[in-house]
Amino acid sequence: MKSDGDKALDGSPPCALEVDMIRNAAARGHRLPCRAKSKKGQTLAEYALILSVISVIAILVLGNLSQEIRRAYGIISNQLACAISAIY
């Protein structure tokens, strides 16, 4: 005895095209978890790219700040040297 799934909507047996369409749909359904994994990998790559851009910006900012800090310490050092020489 055949079940209702063995017949097309009009009651005739399913043709090869319908069977192929069903198999293809089932195959795509099995690949969905793989696509989800690839999106996770894509997200990880995007985070890595954002992190690298932030790192480059941080290095440039710290490079400029280091020059400013060096200059500030130089001014303080000179002023302390002048103050000490005025005392002695």
Q: What is the pLDDT of residues 8-62, one digit of tens each?
A: 566 666 677 777 777 777 777 656 555 555 566 778 889 999 999 999 999 999 9
Asked whether 33 and 27 are in contact (CB, 8 A), the reply is: no
> Is 2 a member of any domain?
no
Sign of CA dihedral 21, 1, 13, 9: negative
> Is 23 a member of any domain?
yes
Say what the pLDDT of residue 1 is.
42
Q: Give how many domains the chain has, as a whole number.
A: 1
Q: What is the pLDDT of residues 58-86, one digit of tens each?
A: 999 998 899 889 999 999 999 999 988 88
What range does the domain containing 80 cover? Answer: 7-87
